[in-house]
Amino acid sequence: MPPETADLTGSFAQLHDPGARGFASDNAAGVHSRVLEAIVAANGGHQVAYGADAYTSALAGVVREQFGERAQAYPVFNGTGANVVSLDMLASRWDAVVCTRAAHINVDECGAPEKIAGAKLIPVDSPDGKLTPELVEPMAWGYGDEHHAQPTVLSLTQATEWGTVYSVDELTRLVSYAKDEGMRVHMDGARLSNAAAALGVPLRAITTDVGVDVVSYGGTKNGALSAEAVIVLNPEAVSRPAFVRKLDGQLTSKMRFTSVQLLALLTDDLWLANARHANAMARALADAVRDIDGVVLSREPEANAVFAVLPREVTPRVQARYPFYVWDEATGEVRWMCSFDTTTDDVSGLAAALREELGSRR
């Protein structure tokens, strides 16, 4: 018989205000109830560790359904890990990765892709966060020159850090160009679900079907607790993916609890419902603030991000009521992220706060 365990029911005090709301990040949202239920369902008894469990096995099948029969799923802890492992699978130590200057791997990974994966990043300026063959071409040179890091990997983000979304045609053209240059293609899909929902296409239509080799699939921003996956779409493009994940410190022991979250999202299109809702709330927020004096929308939302310029003196006052980040200190541009649990009350609340702090009326 197992030893008796203490009854901890009610012994932990809630340390935050569950009524607090904000637009800082879709990472700030809680966990979808169906994902929590899935974690609880996976909690009974023992399962073999490090991925040899029933939930990771089931996830492999669902990933093949969503991304194609050759797709292989490697669950990891977080987005940085997913990107680093992906690039480490694709790039040798003398290789370079072409990406946008605003790419998460270039701005927000604390140098992890270069330090851990060992690949030099070559950032490209882009007016909308998207790459094109014309932007990549000046960086695609020096092949065979031992003095020059080899630009053999292209990394693109879908949806981008600017909240923009590549169309299927844009992806097809860009990836085809990269393949013609002999480059392998990585997609940072932290918000891949939002992009697919915005375009109204299956996940494979903007990954496998356009020729992407490896995708970092994001679950955390779409309702999971802490669950991402490296999904290998073209096994010939990578080397020893299971070993790379372990070497890079992203092999979780109790993997069933990571896998079951992704399984819950990818089953019965929960990923799609969550992403559609977040995108719809972004459109609603843009509509709610566009006529407020002092608010200038930077662009129309394409996924679940809204960008706007505010007077600098107003921003901290509104942030105190609804947390969000300043995107560009120089211009006063801010970013509002909507999540699977953003409500219409959240939207109207932020709009009201902006009106009050700006002293404007409709």
Which among 299, 322, 301 has a CA at the least distance from the CA of 309? Answer: 299
How confident is the prediction for the chain on average, in pLDDT?
A: 95
**In CATH terms, is domain 270-358 a member of 3.90.1150.10?**
yes
Which among 235, 282, 262, 271 has a CA at the least distance from the CA of 89? Answer: 235
Per-residue pLDDT of 218-266, as tens digits, reads 999 999 999 999 999 999 999 899 999 999 999 999 999 999 999 999 9
- SS3 state of residue 309: strand
- State the DSSP H helix or E strand holding residue 258, giving kind and residue range, or none if neither: helix 256-266
Beta-bridge partners for 218:
228
27, with CB counted inside 10 A (0-12, 13-18, 19+), is: middle
Q: Which fold is adopted by the domain 33-266?
A: Aspartate Aminotransferase; domain 2 (3.40.640)
pLDDT band at 10 (very low <50, low <70, confident <90, very high): low
The predicted pLDDT at position 255 comes to 98
- State yes or no: cis peptide before 159, omega within 30 of 0: yes
Q: Is the pLDDT of residue 7 over 70?
A: no
Per-residue pLDDT of 181-194, as tens digits, reads 999 999 999 999 99
CA 34 – CA 19 distance, rounded (Å): 20
The predicted pLDDT at position 6 comes to 44
In angstroms, the Cα distances linking 39 to 31, 36, 43, 247 are 11, 5, 6, 27
- Both structure tokens of 138: 């000046």
Per-residue pLDDT of 140-171, as tens digits, reads 999 999 999 999 999 999 999 999 999 999 99
Per-residue pLDDT of 263-317, as tens digits, reads 999 999 999 999 999 999 999 999 999 999 999 999 999 999 999 999 999 999 9
Is residue 76 within 8 Å of 228, Cβ to Cβ? Answer: yes
pTM of the model: 0.94
CA 137 – CA 74 distance, rounded (Å): 32
DSSP 137: G
Q: Is the pLDDT of residue 5 over 90?
A: no
CA 344 – CA 354 distance, rounded (Å): 15
Is residue 346 within 8 Å of 353, Cβ to Cβ? Answer: no
pLDDT band at 14 (very low <50, low <70, confident <90, very high): confident
Query: Where along the chain do its domains lie?
Result: 33-266, 270-358
Which among 244, 292, 265 has a CA at the least distance from the CA of 82? Answer: 244
The predicted pLDDT at position 362 comes to 41
Q: Is the pLDDT of residue 8 over 70?
A: no
- Both structure tokens of 213: 């080799």
